[in-house]
Structure 1
Amino acid sequence: MDRLLLLEPSKEVRFQGPYTEIVTSYMKLTNPTDKRVGYKVKTNAPRQYTVEPNNGILEPNQLQVLSIRLQPLRVPNTSTTYHKFMVQSMVVPDSDVKSEDLWRGTHKADVIDYKFNCILEAEQIQNGIETSPEHMQMTSPISNHSPINIATLQTTKLNNVQGIPKTNGISSMVDKLKTVVTEMKEMMKKSDERLLQMNNDSSKETRMLSEKLKARESESAMLTQEVTTLKERLQQVEEESKRQISLLTDKLQAQEAQFEQFRTTTVQQMSEKMEEILKQISNSETPTP
């Protein structure tokens, strides 16, 4: 099956810190075909990322930009090393179908998947740490464009702190590094609390939407029942009308037959009476010999 979408980037979704707040990356989807193409986005870490819009239908040659948001990271337990994204696409079979109904009952053979790795690019972590030559010698350089594992980074920092000889000015530097680690832990704790609050808010909104949907479904079921009842009543009225019309037609035909019989009998009687009267007149006018 030919490709239905052109994606940019085509293999990796990259993010650039700082990661103590929401970070956004973008992806372009283009439909190069002459058909309508539906798409939806999946990830193996749905609590860590949000995608807007995460599904839709692209007209021929239409471009759609997706906004991918990375939630604040829970350092050091969270790593994006194994985070994946997948964009699924398929030809829209019906011009009237909606995007939310497109993927119901689809066959795997009709779907084309595009898979992406999630790359978290390193940030220069200064945040109160002195950038003196002594400090530069204590920490190994990190490329601004290389993937980073936050857990490995913090472990390396802590090992460096423990390995520094606490003499002269270096002792104060160690204290500063410990302070930075403490601040990072506090930031991690606040990020966890914020993420938990966002999850709770999201759960509340989901429950509210679910309740509204159930209410709408109940109203729809009631309306459907009322329509069904009205149809049944209309059918009964129609059948009763046909029955009444049939009875009236039979009665009218019977009355017409009776009238025709009465008319025939009356005409015959009148004819016989007239003949009798004419005979009497004829007899009375004949002379007596």
Structure 2
Amino acid sequence: MSTSDNFLVIEPSQELRFKGPFKDEVSSSSLTLTNTSDKKITFKIKTTAPKRYCVRPNQGIVEPGATVNIAVMLQPFDYDPAEKNKHKFMVQTMFLPEGEEVELETLWKTASPEQIMTSNKMRCVFELPADAQEDLVNRPEPKDMKMATEELRKLREDLSSARGENLQLREEGIRLRRQLSSAASAPGSAAADAAPADTTMYYVMAAVALVIGVIVGKLVM
């Protein structure tokens, strides 16, 4: 496959630049094709990311000595730094047969590899505004996001466990209070026995209150 550089001038020849933001707006760039030969040339624009771009016209004819302007529109998308400079464009060309009318679609479908000439590939460059670049720099990397999600999951598990312990301690305190109340009101219990029971109850409740305080402290943190 030969090159079209000798008779077709392409501007820009190396890069197509697109300015953001890209998320909600169409970003446009342009190509110009100038035929420096004395023959008619048909062209076709190709890209490595056809779903991302709208090219008008994407094929056509350049008369001898004439120039054709081509609009290249990048559709809105969520900018990914990993895609930077990966998209490329290429211009394919052929000389039109002299003295006969041809259908371009048919001509391109039936052309042999020896008839088709190609230009150098032009890479696409994405330019972000300063504020968008700052947001991109401060955005957590996927690895950091994964770590943050795992940490959040652990915190939720700790919170659920602390709530369970808190409920269990409350139930244990209620059970102890009921047991002590039943013992104090039992027939034949001596007044002298009430003092040790009350003292025991005091220590038990103090311990329960201390543990509950620790659990509540965990929940607050």
What root-mean-square deviation, in Å, do the aligned CA atoms of Structure 1 and Structure 2 show?
A: 2.6
Matched with 1:274 is: none
2:102 is matched by which residue type in structure 1? Answer: V
User: Shift of residue 58 of structure 1?
Assistant: 1.1
Q: Aligned partner of 1:13: which letter? A: L
The residue that corresponds to 1:96 in the other structure is: 101
Structure 2 gaps of 5+ residues are 142-221
For the 8 Å contact 2:22–2:78, the answer to whether it is kept is: no
Runs of 5+ in structure 1 lacking a partner?
Answer: 128-138, 140-152, 161-289
By how many angstroms is 1:102 displaced?
Answer: 2.0
Does 1 or 2 have the higher relative contact order (CA < 8 Å, sep 6+)? 2
| More strand, by proportion | 2
Compare 25-34 and 85-94 and name the one that shifted more. Answer: 85-94
Aligned equivalent of 2:73: 69
Higher helix share: 1
Q: Which residue of 2 aligns with 1:8?
A: 11
Deviation at 1:73, TM superposition (A): 1.8
- Residue deviations 1:241-273 (CA, integer Å, cap 9, x gap): xxxxxxxxxxxxxxxxxxxxxxxxxxxxxxxxx
**Does the Cα contact within 8 Å between 2:22 and 2:79 map onto a contact in 1?**
no
Picking from 131, 150, 157, the partner of 1:125 is 131
- C-alpha contact (below 8 Å) 1:4/1:90 kept by paired residues: no
- TM-score, normalised by the number of residues in structure 2: 0.55
Note if 1:34 corresponds to 2:38: yes
1:128-143 maps to which residues of 2 (within 5 A)?
A: none
Please name the residue that 2:21 is paired with. 18
The Cα of 1:66 is off from its aligned counterpart by 0.2
Q: Please give the per-residue CA displacement for 1:186-238, whole angstroms capped at 9, x wherever unaligned.
A: xxxxxxxxxxxxxxxxxxxxxxxxxxxxxxxxxxxxxxxxxxxxxxxxxxxxx
Shift of 1:112: 1.5
Measure how far apart 1:48 and its partner are: 0.5
SS in 1 for 2:106: helix
Aligned ranges for residues 259-274 of structure 1 at < 5 Å? none
Quote the sequence identity (%): 35
Structure 2: distance between partners of 1:64 and 1:44? 22
Give 1:4 deviation, angstroms: 3.0
Q: Contact 1:6–1:31 at 8 Å: present in 2 too? A: yes
| Aligned counterparts of 1:126 and 1:70: Cα–Cα separation in 2 | 18
Alignment map for 1:137-286 (pairs within 5 Å): 154=136, 156-159=137-140
Residues of 2 paired with 1:75 and 1:8: CA distance? 26
Larger Rg: 1 or 2? 1
